Structure 1
C-alpha cells in the first residue's frame, strides 16, 4: 500500500492567482499620497469623513475578493483533507491495538528481568539481607533492553564488596559510637554519612564535657564564697547594753555537735550569750550544727 497523487501537486495547483496588482498599487500610491501630511480642520472635516468612508469601502471590497479566492482555493483541499483523515483514522485503530499489546509485553519483560536480578541479589546479599533491601539499590536502568543483565549483576557484586570494605573501615576505628555510625551508613550506604555521624557524636560528647566543667566550676565558686562569708552572731537587745570587753584575748574556733531538745537548746544558747561566746548557725547545704567561737 502506498499513497499516490494522480498528478504532481505542481500540476494540480495554479502557479499564482493573477489580478491587476501592479496597476491597483500604483493608483493607490498616487491617490493616497495626499493623506500623508493631512491636517483635519473645521472646514475640511466633512471631506475627511467622506474620504475615510470611500477608503474603507475600497479596502473591504479588496479583502472580500481575498476571502472568495481562499474559499474556492480550499474547496479541493478540504475534500482532500477529509479523505486523508478517514484513511489515517482507519490505520490508527490497529496501531492503538498493537501499542497496547507491546506495552503488555514490555511490562512482562521488565517484570521477568527484575525478578531474575532480585533473585541474584537475594542470593548474594548474605548477612546484609536485613540491612539492605533490594529497592534501596535497584536501578531502573537495569530493566532497559539495552542494559545487559550481566552488567546489572556485576554492579550488585561491586556494591556488596564496597559495603564490606566500608563496614570494616568503620569497625576498625573502634570508637564508642560505632553502632550509630553503622546505622547511619546502612540508611544511606554512604561512608561520608557515617563519618558525619561520628563527628556529631564527638561534638556532643565535647559539649557535655564543657557543660560538666562549667557546672563544677560553679559549684567550686559557691563553695569558695561560703568559706569567705563573714560570721554573723545573733545578739539580743539586752546584750547590747552590757559593757564591751576591750581586753582582747586569743580565741579558738570549736565546731561540735550535740543532741538536745528545744529546752536544752535554749539553755545552751542563753549560756553562750551570758558568757559572751560568739556563735552562728551553719548555712543551708551542711548538716545543722552549732559553731562557737571563744571571745
Structure 2
C-alpha cells in the first residue's frame, strides 16, 4: 500500500499591528489507493469468512489463534499508516491553534483582573446586605434572636440585587414569625409530655414543626421497642418450692422408730424431740355488711368519641385500655 499525505500550510500574515486575525490557507485533500487496498483485503479475508473450527482439539485451537493473529496483523498495518498521516495532517493546525491561544491569553489576563475587582465589589455589597438583614432581625425578633441566630434563618436569594432589600426584610420577618408560632404551638400543646425535648431539639435543628413532631413520635416508638425487648429478655420467675407434708404415721412408726416395725411391737424411747401439736386457727371476724348499691346515674346519650394522644408507651396504652374496659367502654386503639 502506498499513499502520500499532502501538507496543509496555514500561513499567518504577519504585520506590525492588526485589529483582527487574517489567515491564508489552502484546503488540502488526501489521496490514497483505497480501491486497490480494499480488493487486496477482500481477497485475503475471503478464506476466513464464516470459518468454523472444531475447538475440542488442541491443534484446531492453535490454528484458530494463528488465523486471528494474521487478520489482526493486516488491520494493524493499515491503522499504523492512518495514524501517521493524521499526525502529519494536523501539525499545521496544531501550530496555528497554539499561536492563537498564546495571543488570547494576553486578553484573558487583563479580563481576569477586571473580573476579580467586580467579584470583590459584589462580595462587599452582599456583606453589607447581610449585615442589614441581621441587624433588622435582631431588632424585631428580640429574645428569639439570642436563641436562634440570624444565620439559621438566612436564605442566599435575599442578597440578590433582583430580590431587593424591602422584599428581603418581609421574607425574613415572615420566616421568623412562622418559627416563633411553631415554637409556641409546640410548647402550649406538648410541653411536659414524654419526648418533648426531642421534638424541641428537632424544631431548632430544622425549623420545621412537622419534623419535630415526627422526631418525638420516632423517639416514643424506639423507647417502646426497647421496653418490649427488655421485657422479653427478662427471665420468667421461678415457681416457689412446695413444702413437703410430714405424712401420716404407719403402724407404731414415729420419728425415732423403725419404719419396718410391726403393729404392736414395743417402741424404743426416741432421742428426737416429739412433734409439737398444731394450734387451731383463731376464728375470723364476720365480714362487714356490704354498702347499699349506689343510685343509678341519670341517663346520658351515647356518642362516638375521638381521643388524640400524641405520645404514650405501649404499657401506658394497655393501662388506659384496661380502665376504659372497666367502665364498659369498648372501641379500637391503634398506633399512629
TM-score (norm. length: structure 1):
0.51
Residue aligned with 1:130, SS: helix
Deviation at 1:119, TM superposition (A): 1.0
Does the Cα contact within 8 Å between 2:158 and 2:164 map onto a contact in 1? yes
Pick aligned residue for 2:38 from 17, 25, 36: 25
Partner of residue 108, structure 1 = 124
Q: Report whether the alignment pairs 1:159 with 2:175.
A: yes
Task: Tell me how large the CA RMSD over aligned residues is.
Answer: 5.2
Aligned-pair CA distance for 1:110? 1.7
Asked if the contact 2:126–2:159 (Cα under 8 Å) also holds between the matched residues in 1, the reply is yes
- The structural deviation recorded for 1:118 is 0.7
Alpha carbons of structure 1 residues 25 and 126: separation in structure 2 relative to 1, 3 Å: same
Question: Aligned to 1:138, which of 151, 154, 161?
Answer: 154
- Per the TM alignment, residue 158 of structure 1 is displaced from its structure 2 partner at its CA by 1.1
Shift, 1:134, TM fit: 0.9
How many residues matched?
212
- Aligned to 2:31, what secondary structure does the other structure show? coil
Residue ranges of structure 1 left out of the alignment (5+ in a row): 209-217, 219-224, 230-236, 254-295
1:122 aligns with 2:138: yes
Instruction: Render the CA deviation track for 1:150-191: whole Å, top value 9, x for unaligned.
Output: 232112211233234334434544864498588544454333
Q: TM-score, normalised by structure 2?
A: 0.46
Q: Is 1:6 matched up with 2:20?
A: no
Per-residue deviation, 1:142: 2.1
CA-CA distance at 1:239 after TM superposition: 5.2
Deviation, structure 1 residue 107 = 2.0
| 1:36 Cα deviation from its structure 2 partner | 5.1
Aligned to 1:149: 165
Asked whether the equivalents of residues 121 and 156 of structure 1 are also in contact (C-alpha less than 8 Å), the reply is yes
Equivalent residue runs for 1:164-243 within 5 Å? 164-173=180-189, 176-177=192-193, 180=197, 183-184=200-201, 185-186=203-204, 188-192=206-210, 195=213, 240=274
What's the CA shift for 1:120? 1.0
